[in-house]
Amino acid sequence: MLKLESLWGEASQSRLHRSLIAAIARPGEVVDSVSWLGGRRAWLGVLATLADGGTTLHDLHGLIDERDWAMLGANRAGWGDAAFVLADAARAPADDLRLDRGSLIRPETGATLVLDCAQVGSGTGSEILRGPGVDGQRILRFDGIDPLWWRLREAHAGFPQGIDLVLCDARRIACIPRSTVLGGTTAGGGGR
Amino acid sequence: MTAASTSSTVSAANTGAGDHFGFLDAFAKRELRRASFKALCIPGYQVPYASREMPIARGFGTGGLQLSLSLLTPEDTLKVIDQGADDSVNAVNLRRFILATCPGVAATTRTTAASVIQTRHRIPETPLHAGQIMVYQVPFPDPLQIIEPSEAKRRRMHAEVDYARLLVRLYEDLVRFREVAITNRYPARVAGRYVIDPSPIPRWDLPKLNRSHAIHLFGAGREKKIYAVPPMTTVEPLAFSDVPFQVEAFTDDEGGRHRCARCGAGDSYLDEIVLPDGGRRWQCNDQDHCDSHREESLR
């Protein structure tokens, strides 16, 4: 009999969804989802909660093994067309990487970029966040994000168009939606 | 591997197999979750989604119901209100259905105790806190619907931030009635960009959306749209610089404010009740607020 890991069950995914809603509604707020990940990294929990056969996914750095591809059931697509793009944050994006940023008529088609980071919520890099969901400003700390990812986000920006970032480490999740304004960095490696 | 076992492996793929919670299948929930996620990324924008058939008729809160079912976990405490009342037919039936399909979820009538509040036509008087999610049942999600019948044109107007005709509509009210005559569904601009229809809440409730601590999700099942107002986000009613937005005043003949006949509150949205003898009585619309205020005053 096929035995599924807890991550693929509704019980875990409904809790992960609430973690995601909390994180995307309050950009930069770090949520710990370790209880619902079944020992897997947080990016897989994010994809298991949001992706399925009704959407498209591109794995930029080959982080997803074949078994997890089969479990996700998401349709493979090129990075320019995919609704979800998964990448290793420590590796710099290619110069010509262009994701779907949506259109003025259909901005919701803008891609969700899921970055697998060394640390989220702590670390030497940081960003100052402002905008909807943030009371004044919030500082998000992290480690292991190549600075070019921030440049990629800027290159796609132009609200309501843009890309939405989900930063994940082994257990924690933080989000930076396109509506968030990044207001400079504090000192430390990995920041801009 | 046999054909049968291959089939079972494929059908197990990310279906949330093994447990069933919240009536909707895993694919429906995941689509609702994706739409809610994008709605929070683009505050005020109406994200289209494939609204499912529900065991209640469209127009009776299927959008809000689907959102609630996609959000709830067994740790949640749910409050359902209809026009401020926990015990109206719509609220009772929706609550009963949700509790029957979401084992473990607790129900409450207390605003402060609820983690998810599904509502039709009101925002509770009690200030919401950061741990709460408001889910609105929305009949008409697009504020431009009153001036433009074509959805394609309305989408373009939202894209181009073209709300001039909406402002003209407000101006026409001022010319004809000396005040804006919109009593509910008052258009409001979210985060300085999209104008939303905040569902048929009275004008009284609109300021509560502005920089609220809670998450606000709006579901229109019949119109197949979801939109959102994240916490701490500006929500400004459309108005003119020389004619500010006003909420209901509830003034009596002497120029004072009517008070609730039941609890004495002078700071809540009131219902006007016509008595058999032709007289008038004023009472809090928010049942929980009225009960709480009454208990405090009796203490």
Domain ranges of chain B: 26-142+183-237, 254-299
- pLDDT, average across residues A93-118: 98
Sequence-distant (6+) residues with CB within 8 A of B118 are: B61, B64, B65, B67, B68, B78, B79, B80, B81, B94, B98, B135, B136, B137
Residue A67 in this model has a pLDDT that exceeds 90: yes
Confidence at residue B14, expressed as pLDDT on a 0 to 100 scale: 61
Which residue among A2, A71, A179 sits closest to B41, beta carbon to beta carbon? A179
Residue B82 near residue B121, CB atoms below 8 Å = yes
Confidence at residue B1, expressed as pLDDT on a 0 to 100 scale: 34
Q: How confident is the model at residue A109 (pLDDT cuts 50, 70, 90)?
A: very high
Per-residue pLDDT in tens (0 to 9) along chain B, 299 residues: 333 333 333 334 565 544 679 999 999 999 999 999 999 999 999 999 999 999 998 889 999 999 999 999 999 999 999 999 999 999 999 999 999 999 999 999 999 999 999 999 999 999 999 999 999 999 999 999 999 999 999 999 999 999 999 999 999 999 999 989 999 999 999 999 999 999 999 999 999 999 999 999 999 999 999 999 999 999 999 999 999 999 999 998 899 999 999 999 999 999 999 999 999 999 999 999 999 999 988 87
Residue A190 in this model has a pLDDT that exceeds 50: no
- Is the pTM here over 0.90, yes or no? yes
Considering only the top CATH level, what class is B26-142+183-237? alpha beta
Which residue among B13, B41, B211 sits closest to A71, beta carbon to beta carbon? B13
CATH code for the part of the protein at A6-182 = 3.40.50.11310
Mean residue pLDDT across chain A: 94
Which residue among B8, B156, B231 sits closest to A25, beta carbon to beta carbon? B231
Residue B233, chain A, CB below 8 Å: the answer is yes
* Cα distance between residue A136 and residue B224, in whole Å: 33
Confidence at residue B4, expressed as pLDDT on a 0 to 100 scale: 37
DSSP state of A61: T
Residue A68, chain B, CB below 8 Å: the answer is no
Name the B residues in 144-183 with CB < 8 Å from any A CB: 155-156, 159-160
Query: B244: which 2 tokens?
Result: 């500010």
* Cα distance between residue A138 and residue B208, in whole Å: 23
Residue B115 near residue B77, CB atoms below 8 Å = yes
Confidence at residue B2, expressed as pLDDT on a 0 to 100 scale: 36
Confidence at residue B298, expressed as pLDDT on a 0 to 100 scale: 80
- pLDDT, average across residues A153-173: 97
Residue A187, chain B, CB below 8 Å: the answer is no
What is the residue-wise DSSP string for A90-123? TSPPPTT-------SS-GGGSPEEEEE-SEEEEE
Confidence at residue B59, expressed as pLDDT on a 0 to 100 scale: 86
Q: Do A25 and B36 touch (CB under 8 A)?
A: no
B292 — alpha (psi -120 to 50), left (phi > 0) or beta? alpha
Q: Comparing A3 with A132, which gets the higher pLDDT? A: A132
Q: pLDDT > 90: what percent of chain A?
A: 92
C-alpha distances in Å from residue B228, one per residue of A124, A132, B196, B209? 33, 11, 9, 11
Confidence at residue B19, expressed as pLDDT on a 0 to 100 scale: 60
Confidence at residue B13, expressed as pLDDT on a 0 to 100 scale: 54
